Amino acid sequence: MFNLTSLDLGTNSFSGTIPDNLASCQKLKALNLAKNKLIGQVPESFKNLQSLSYLSLSNCSFSNLSSSLKVLQHCPNLTVLVLTMNFYTEELPPDDDLKFKALKALVIANCNLTGSIPPWINGLTQLQLLDLSWNHLTGSIPAYLGDFKSLFYVDLSNNSLSGEIPKNLTQLQSLISRDISLEEPSLDFPFFRYIDMSRSKWWLQYNQIMRFPPLLDLSNNHLTGLIWPEFGNLKKLHVLNLKHNNLSGSIPGSLSGMRSIETLDFSFNSLTGTIPPSLVNLSFLSMFSVAYNNLTGIIPYGGQFLTFPTTSFEGNSGLCPSISLNCHKIQVPLQNQPSEKKEGSDVIVPVLTGFGTGFLVTVILLLVVPAIRDKNKTD
């Protein structure tokens, strides 16, 4: 047992606290204790696990998140830390002295945590995957997240975050070039992604971090402001989910630069303007929704837009299909035209009509009438 490098004890109905003898496995690199009935906190003895790279304690009943993190920061090779569904209603610790220099994936989701996104996360310079979804976090999204060179997966959905989306997020290098080299631990057990599809909770399974799709999920918060045109620079992004916020302004046409995008969801916001026709060039787009905004104009026709259901556009009274005969009337109502142009039109039309009538009479008098007279004389 002392020479074990990987230990999967998940879903074994263990109860009580974590056994101290686990810390004697000093060569242990991967440890899975998920889905057990464990209580208490991570023991101090875990500081001896100097080789530990992957740790999953998800779906247990641990408490005292602050103390557990202070212990685990002494595992210098810790790369993946999954603490989902624990530490219920506790505060995400704001401690400035927490340091996880090797951490590449941090998952503390579905814990109903309070507080804000803490400054110590700024020290996770190797971070590639961050999931703090399904909590009660408040405050703003820190701009420093955009400075991480390897971060390609950010899920902050289903919180109470407010303020504008930091423009720095449009500068994430891994979502622009996605040139990441990663030596991951060889896992004998799966790494899960928790999602909520139509309120039915289910899981997607990945055995490696790099199997996760490049993602920015900021949905179900209280975010305000604009959708930045610079999001179009994220050529490697697969999922951009901004639904159920308070975003305003228009949808930038530059989003057509997101060549790899598969999901765009802007539903349930306060967006105005039209849907940019350039979005029909997104050849990988399989899910698109702008439902329940204040959009107007013609729905783009062509490309993947031919496959989207009407539910993708519902809740926008000013939108109409391109095949509708009344589209032009909906887009440019007569009462919205400038009065100067309308008055000018009233003057020009009679003038042109009178000119045309006079020209026709002249032709008849000069050509038709003489011809009739000549014919009569001949007869």
Mean pLDDT of 284-312: 97
Per-residue pLDDT of 299-332, as tens digits, reads 999 999 999 999 999 999 999 987 655 565 444 3
Q: How far apart are CA 8 and CA 25, in angstroms?
A: 13
> Mean pLDDT in the chain?
82
pLDDT-derived band of residue 369, with 50, 70 and 90 as boundaries? Answer: very low
pLDDT digits (tens, 9 = 90+) for 165-189: 999 999 999 999 977 654 554 455 5
What CA–CA distances, in Å, run from 346 to 147, 329, 353? Answer: 59, 20, 11
pLDDT at 71: 95
Helix (H, G, I), strand (E, B) or coil at 12: coil
72 pLDDT more than 80? yes
Average pLDDT over residues 111-125: 95
pLDDT (average), residues 229-253: 98
Alpha helix segments (H runs only) across the chain: 65-72, 173-176, 327-331, 339-363, 369-378
Would the pLDDT of 333 be above 50? no
pTM: 0.82
Check residue 315 and give its pLDDT: 97
Least-confidence region, from 87-91, 204-208, 256-260, 367-371: 367-371
* 3-state secondary structure (DSSP) of residue 193: strand
**pLDDT at residue 350, as a whole number:** 40
Neighbouring residues of 148: CB distance < 8 A, sequence distance ≥ 6? 124, 125, 127, 172, 174
CA–CA distance, 179 with 210 (Å, rounded to integer): 11
- State yes or no: pLDDT of 345 exceeds 50: no
End-to-end CA distance of the chain: 128
Calculate ∠ Cα 76-81-82, nearest 5°. 165
Question: Tokens representing 108?
Answer: 């503390």
**pLDDT computed for residue 11 by the predictor:** 81
Mean pLDDT along residues 4-29:
82
pLDDT recorded at residue 27: 87
pLDDT computed for residue 25 by the predictor: 83
Residue 103 or 371, more confident? 103
Residue whose structure tokens are 């928790």:
194
Q: Which of 306, 303, 248, 247 is nearest to 279 (CA)?
A: 303
